[in-house]
């Protein structure tokens, strides 16, 4: 039987608090099912070159981690990954700051990952690389002689060619993607954008039927694998958390008011400034709600050394302060804005307690909070999801109230529609979305990707057999 090896920049280490973000939740749940190895960054920087990986084994999963040198980390993670690729892939050119040294550090850190991972690999491994931090890793593993199938999944959006070619080294990045056997995207939009880039670089004839792309001798498969959630797991967590004191205290503190909830990493792509303005527009447009609704926004800090994140944090503090200063009363605060994280189960408990889930990113690969909000609801009396049509999740959750996150008035109308929606309509919309979530849950995401990798393996074996016979 094959062993699954997942590789990502950030990993959810046992004993460390869970890393926020859908990637960690997705991989954690994939590996919990099948067992295997998870290789990545330890979360620490060092003055020295990375030594041998630290290995911890827990519940059938081996965690192998390495430290990254401080300067490399600044240029690779803060720099190339989060000041170049992240803004570019999310269509925020204004936030992009390209420096060649960052590109070099990106290549170097990927090489270190490849060198440290390669000795841990076994003959039957299937290797699954995650996210934009590690695009060159497949090529570098091949250069070290790794023959096993290697797949890559992009958790964030993939930009169209007109956006991608702003990147001076865009051709290398595309060539690196073609070194994988399987390349997966969240939505059809992302796959189409990838095709537009492949066509630009290699010509239309590179794209074959059934998602195959031929570049020289190599054939790779590109497809859509929308990440899902563990529906039963979320339901259980959400239900059990209702009796947890932290959730009870939150619910009691509402004093019977409606609850609107947002949970996002503090990131400019999540559209929080726009969301706070839309909430202010809502209070202005529908003044009956003043004093009757509480909006809790949980936004744990993230990438705090990157300038754009320092700026967005300041803007949000000002925006929350403005709304609270203008509307608050001695016994009511319109926005409770918290820069801290909570255990996953607690968050699911909060989401279940909410009448409205507000998920309005300006651009998002998928957004698992939207899916978790739906899964966490009580099906007999569900809350309503207000969802950005620029999130990948909007392709599947079409029964949410879909909004344009830049349209303050539109979002404010949607909040009002959510709060006043009759129970039968809430149930109907919720049931439709739950069905989608069950059909495409986290287990089927893993299964489909691993099957694609296994097929790559068997077609490789066939090709080898043919060339041996020849």
Would you name the residues annotated as active-site residues?
155, 364
Considering the complex, what minimum distance in angstroms separates the CB of residue 134 from ligand F6P? 9
Binders in 117-136 for ligand F6P, by CB under 6 A: 131
Contact map string, positions 175 to 214, toward ligand F6P, x by CB under 6 A: ----------------------------------------
**Nearest residue (CB) to ligand F6P, 9 versus 412:** 9
Helix (H, G, I), strand (E, B) or coil at 81: helix
CB of 269 to ligand F6P, least distance (A): 10
Could you tell me where the beta strands, DSSP code E, fall in 92-188? 125-130, 150-153, 182-185
Count of chain residues binding ligand F6P (CB under 6 A): 12
- Of residues 229-248, those binding ligand F6P (CB under 6 A): none
Q: What distance in Å separates the CA atoms of residue 452 and residue 210, rounded to the nearest whole number?
A: 12
Considering only 6, 30, 137, 156, the residue that binds ligand F6P (CB under 6 A) is 156
Q: Which residues contact 352 (CB under 8 A, 6 or more apart)?
A: 238, 239, 241, 242, 376, 377, 378
Tokens 């400019």 -> residue = 268
| Complex with ligand F6P: residue 6 or 127, whichever CB lies closer | 6
Q: What is the DSSP letter of 19?
A: P
Report in angstroms the alpha-carbon separations of 41 from 30, 59, 134, 176: 19, 20, 11, 21
The closest of 390, 90, 83 to 269, measured between CA atoms, is: 90
| Alpha-carbon separation of residue 458 from 149, 462, 469 (angstroms) | 9, 6, 16
Query: In the sheet where 356-359 sits, what is the strand order?
Result: 335-338, 293-298, 258-263, 356-359, 384-388, 401-403
- Within positions 294 to 323, which residues make up the interface with ligand F6P, using CB under 6 A? 302-303
CB nearer to ligand F6P: pick between 250 and 306: 306
Q: How far is the CB of 45 from ligand F6P (least distance, A)?
A: 14
Residues 8-27 that bind ligand F6P (CB under 6 A): 10, 19-24
Shortest distance (Å) from residue 192 CB to ligand F6P: 20
CB of 304 to ligand F6P, least distance (A): 10
Which of 299/353 has CB closer to ligand F6P? 299
303/283 Cα distance (integer angstroms):
32
Q: Tell me the closest approach of the beta carbon of residue 168 to ligand F6P, in angstroms.
A: 22
Q: Which residue is nearest to ligand F6P (CB)?
A: 21
Element spanning 213, H or E: strand 212-215
* Closest CB to ligand F6P among residues 21, 138: 21
User: Which element (helix H / strand E) includes 466?
Assistant: helix 442-469
363 binds ligand F6P (CB under 6 A): no
Q: Which C-beta is closer to ligand F6P: that of 150 or that of 306? A: 306
Q: Which of 155, 270, 352, 371 binds ligand F6P (CB under 6 A)?
A: 155
Which of 263, 274, 271 has the alpha carbon at shortest distance from 22? 263
Site membership for ligand F6P, residue 434 (CB under 6 A): no
Alpha-carbon gap, residue 323 to 49, rounded angstroms: 48
**Token pair belonging to 417:** 């529609």
Is there binding between residue 348 and ligand F6P (CB under 6 A)?
no
How near is the Cβ of 20 to ligand F6P at its closest, in Å?
Answer: 6
H-type alpha helices, 144-259? 161-164, 170-177, 188-202, 231-241, 245-253
For residues 366 and 372, what is the distance between their CA atoms, to the nearest angstrom? Answer: 12
For residue 95, state whether it binds ligand F6P (rule: CB under 6 A).
no
Pick the closer one to ligand F6P by CB: 303 or 371: 303
- Supply 186's token pair: 């969240």
Sheet holding 54-58, edge to edge: 54-58, 61-69, 36-46, 3-10, 125-130, 150-153, 182-185, 218-224, 212-215
Phi/psi of residue 244, nearest 5 degrees: -75, 145
**Phi and psi torsions of 293, nearest 5°:** -135, 145
Measured from the CB atom, the residue of 18 and 223 that comes closer to ligand F6P is 18
C-beta closer to ligand F6P: residue 264 or 396 = 264
What is the closest distance, in whole angstroms, from the C-beta atom of residue 446 to ligand F6P in the complex?
Answer: 16
CA atoms within 13 A on the CB side of 459: 13
Give the sign of the dihedral formed by CA 430, CA 341, CA 129, CA 195. Answer: positive
Interacting residues with ligand F6P between 24 and 43 (CB under 6 A)? 24
In the complex, minimum distance from the CB of residue 97 to ligand F6P, in angstroms, rounded to a whole number = 16
- The DSSP element (H or E) to which 368 belongs, if any, is helix 368-376
Site for ligand F6P in 258-297 (CB under 6 A): none
Q: Residues with Cβ < 8 Å from 425, sequence gap 6 or more?
A: none
- DSSP class of residue 53 equals P
Give the binding site for ligand F6P (CB under 6 A).
Answer: 10, 19-24, 131, 155-156, 302-303
């Amino acid at each position: 039987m094959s062993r699954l090896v997942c590789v990502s920049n950030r990993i959810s280490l046992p004993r460390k608090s869970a890393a926020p973000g859908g990637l960690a939740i997705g991989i954690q749940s994939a590996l919990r099912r099948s067992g295997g190895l998870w290789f990545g960054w330890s979360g620490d920087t060092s003055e020295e070159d990375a030594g041998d990986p630290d290995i911890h084994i827990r519940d059938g999963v081996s965690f192998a981690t390495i430290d990254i040198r401080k300067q490399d980390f600044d240029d690779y993670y803060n720099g190339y990954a989060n000041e170049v690729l992240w803004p570019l892939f999310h269509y925020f050119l204004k936030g992009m700051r390209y420096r060649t040294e960052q590109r070099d550090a990106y290549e170097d850190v990927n090489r270190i990952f490849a060198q440290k991972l390669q000795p841990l690999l076994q003959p039957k491994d299937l290797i699954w690389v995650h996210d934009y931090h590690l695009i060159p890793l497949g090529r570098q593993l091949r250069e070290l002689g790794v023959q096993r199938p290697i797949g890559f999944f992009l958790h964030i959006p993939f930009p169209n060619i007109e956006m991608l070619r702003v990147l001076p080294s865009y051709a290398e990045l595309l060539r690196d993607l073609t070194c994988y056997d399987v390349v997966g995207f969240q939505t059809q939009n992302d796959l189409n954008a990838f095709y537009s880039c492949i066509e630009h670089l290699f010509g239309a004839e590179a794209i074959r039927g059934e998602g195959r792309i031929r570049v020289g001798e190599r054939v790779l498969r590109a497809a859509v694998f929308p990440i899902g959630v563990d529906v039963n797991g979320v339901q259980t967590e959400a239900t059990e958390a209702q009796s947890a004191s932290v959730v009870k205290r939150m619910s009691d503190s509402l004093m019977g008011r409606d609850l609107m909830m947002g949970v996002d990493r503090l990131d400019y792509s999540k559209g929080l400034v726009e969301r706070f303005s839309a909430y202010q527009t809502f209070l202005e447009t529908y003044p009956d709600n003043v004093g009757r609704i509480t909006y809790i926004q949980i936004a744990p800090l993230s990438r705090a050394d990157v300038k754009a994140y320092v700026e967005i944090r300041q803007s949000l503090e000002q925006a929350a302060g403005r709304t609270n200063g203008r509307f608050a009363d001695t016994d009511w605060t319109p926005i409770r804005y918290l820069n801290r994280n909570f255990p996953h189960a607690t968050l699911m408990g909060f989401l279940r307690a909410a009448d409205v889930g507000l998920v309005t990113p300006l651009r998002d690969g998928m957004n698992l909070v939207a899916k978790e909000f739906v899964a966490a609801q009580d099906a007999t009396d569900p809350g309503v999801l207000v969802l950005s049509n620029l999130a990948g999740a909007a392709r599947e959750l079409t029964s949410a109230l879909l909004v344009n996150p830049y349209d303050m008035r539109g979002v404010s109308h949607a909040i009002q529609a959510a709060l006043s929606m009759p129970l039968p309509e809430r149930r109907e919309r919720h049931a439709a979305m739950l069905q989608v979530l069950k059909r495409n849950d986290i287990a089927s995401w893993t299964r489909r990707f691993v099957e694609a990798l296994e097929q790559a393996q068997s077609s490789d074996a066939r090709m080898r057999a043919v060339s041996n016979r020849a």
